[in-house]
Amino acid sequence: MRIDLHTHSTASDGTDTPAELVRNAAAAGLDVVAITDHDTTAGWAEAVEARPEGLTLVRGMEMSCVALGADGWPVPVHLLAYLFDPTDRGFAEERERLRAERVERLRAMAERMRADGLPIDPDAVLASAGPSAGRPHLARALVTAGVVPTVDAAFAELLAPHGRYYAEKADTPLHRAVSMIAGAGGVSVLAHARARKRGRLIALDDIRASAELGLGGLESNHPDHSAEDRAVLDELAAELGLLTTGSSDYHGANKTIRLGEFTTDPAQFEALVDKASGVPVIRA
Ligand SMILES: [Zn+2]
Ligand SMILES: [Zn+2]
């Protein structure tokens, strides 16, 4: 059984459409794939529709949250939410708040650029952005307008958190997200919690507190984790009775990692499915 529980489609920042994603997952020899776009379930229906025979599909999402850092300051973290009921009122309202907030934030940054004389049209940027509007859309507009040569340069020079155009995000507090996902019948798994190259790390005690609120698992086998990082997370999961997952965090052509390059143990996957009551796994 080859199981990849964390992938992105064009519903967020991947390059495969949801239909291409499930076809590519089957072609890559996967038995199980989860679609987990950033902060949206917009790709679910197409993935369900296009799912090839023999592939098991898990519907999920990767949520942007804010937690307590190991240094005592707030730190952004990603929380995977699996098999939750998308119509659950409280959780649906929070996703809608985040979606509206992302659009406002992107508009604020684009307006500041235009006010400074940069050739950026806020309406055009927003029109290009779709359901998970974010800085990548503005970065691409800056490249297209010839302001910077690459998306990386846009992030480094104009869109960085200390930069002149940056607007703060109002992400969901981790503890609140964990509770909401549990309330919607889903299972939450903290994504790439030791990925140092992404920045500062969450405090281990904040993971312990989240476990008490219903956190379901820790993503351990991830491309951004060293063997030591995995060992830390596996040990913590054992201490707290959490499950552990593994996944490629596939983004299509936006990253070099391939579907199924990192995988989840079948017993851990079955434990995850057993915990969920929101929407069913769509079995092969
Ligand atoms: Zn992530
Ligand atoms: Zn991801």
Give the start-to-end residue ranges of the domains of the chain. 3-96+169-275, 102-156
| 68-100: b (≥16 Cβ within 10 Å) or e | bbeeeeebbbbbbbbbbbeebeebbebbeebbe
Q: How far is the CA of 163 from the centre of ligand 2 (A)?
A: 24
Q: Report helix, strand or coil for 32.
A: strand
Q: How far is the CA of 78 from the centre of ligand 1 (A)?
A: 5
Q: How far is the CA of 10 from the centre of ligand 1 (A)?
A: 15
Q: What is the pLDDT of residue 131?
A: 64
Q: What is the pLDDT of residue 64?
A: 92
Residues in the chain: 284
In what helix (H) or strand (E) does residue 178 lie, and over which residues does it extend?
Answer: helix 174-183
d(CA 98, CA 170): 8
CA nearest to 19, candidates 30, 36, 35: 35
Give me the tens of pLDDT residue by residue for the chain, a chain 284 residues long.
999 999 999 998 899 999 999 999 999 999 999 999 998 999 999 999 999 999 999 999 999 999 999 999 999 999 999 999 999 999 999 999 988 888 899 999 999 999 999 999 999 999 887 767 788 889 999 999 999 999 999 999 899 988 889 988 889 999 999 999 999 999 999 999 999 888 899 999 999 999 999 999 999 999 999 999 999 999 999 999 999 999 999 999 878 899 999 999 999 999 999 999 999 999 97
Residues 6+ apart with CB under 8 A from 73: 200
Q: How far is the CA of 195 from the centre of ligand 1 (A)?
A: 9
In what helix (H) or strand (E) does residue 181 lie, and over which residues does it extend?
Answer: helix 174-183
Q: How far is the CA of 118 from the centre of ligand 1 (A)?
A: 30
Q: How far is the CA of 215 from the centre of ligand 2 (A)?
A: 18
Position 235, amino acid: E
Tokens 């063997």, residue located: 227
CA distances from 278 to 83, 111, 156, 180 (A): 5, 40, 40, 12
Q: How far is the CA of 192 from the centre of ligand 1 (A)?
A: 7
Q: How far is the CA of 72 from the centre of ligand 1 (A)?
A: 21
CA nearest to 277, candidates 39, 88, 83: 83
Tokens 């593994």, residue located: 246
CB-count burial class (<10 Å; 0-12, 13-18, 19+) for 150: exposed
Position 132, amino acid: S
Ligand nearest to the CA of 36: 2
β-pair partners for 218: 190, 244
Q: What is the pLDDT of residue 122?
A: 94
Tokens 């090839």, residue located: 52
Q: How far is the CA of 93 from the centre of ligand 2 (A)?
A: 22
Q: How far is the CA of 114 from the centre of ligand 2 (A)?
A: 31
Tell me: domain 3-96+169-275, CATH 3.20.20.140, correct? yes
Q: How far is the CA of 61 from the centre of ligand 1 (A)?
A: 10
Residues 6+ apart with CB under 8 A from 10: 16, 17, 18, 43
Residues 6+ apart with CB under 8 A from 230: 194, 220, 221
**Does the pTM exceed 0.75?**
yes
What's the token pair of residue 237? 């999961």
Q: How far is the CA of 60 from the centre of ligand 1 (A)?
A: 13
d(CA 276, CA 271): 9
Q: How far is the CA of 232 from the centre of ligand 2 (A)?
A: 20
β-pair partners for 36: 60
